[in-house]
Structure 1
Amino acid sequence: MMEELIGFVMGNKQRIKVLEIIESKGPQPADKVAKFGRLTGPVVGRALEEVAGKGLLREKGGVWEFTDLGVELSKELKKRA
């Protein structure tokens, strides 16, 4: 399962960037993620929805944050970096 998720995230630069921003800056609204990543709103929105669909992020009150699975994935990616 974790290998599939890592492949899913690593297969798309925007997904990687979105997760890196939330990891480094903490929970953020989508517009801030777009600003920090120098990405367009639609690109960030799609990336957020994709990773949320895999259970890595969730939105609470307009702010995106890691789920427990997302935290676990983030730790695994750091080990491999």
Structure 2
Amino acid sequence: MDELIGFVTGNKNRRKLLALLASRNELNGDKLAKNMRIARPSADKVLGELLDRKLVVQNDNSFSLTELGAAVEKRMQSI
């Protein structure tokens, strides 16, 4: 878990994306990029990194946190 927290906190866009999904539960890629104020390709890159580490899951066109992603995000709030 500490390794995942270090991975997420090492990049502001990863932190923002996890926090955004935690507060909104589920968003599509366009809305994530818009809310984060970054280009869609940048959002896709971050989503890919989080998908690879099983922190985010894709349901059709939307993304949401996995149980692991929610646990990491919750633990980051206490840091």
RMSD (CA atoms): 0.8
For structure 2, list consecutive stretches of 5 or more residues without a partner in the other structure: none
Give 1:31's aligned residue.
30
Give 2:49's aligned residue.
50
What percentage of residue pairs aligned between the two structures are identical? Answer: 34
Provide, for residues 18-77 of structure 1, a one-character-per-residue CA deviation record: whole Å limited to 9, x for no partner.
111111122000100001111100000000010111110010011100111011111111
Partners of 1:24 and 1:63 in 2: CA distance: 15
Give 1:7's aligned residue.
6
For structure 1, list consecutive stretches of 5 or more residues without a partner in the other structure: none
- TM-score, L = length of structure 2: 0.95
Deviation at 1:79?
Answer: 1.6
Which range moved further: 17-26 or 34-43? Answer: 17-26
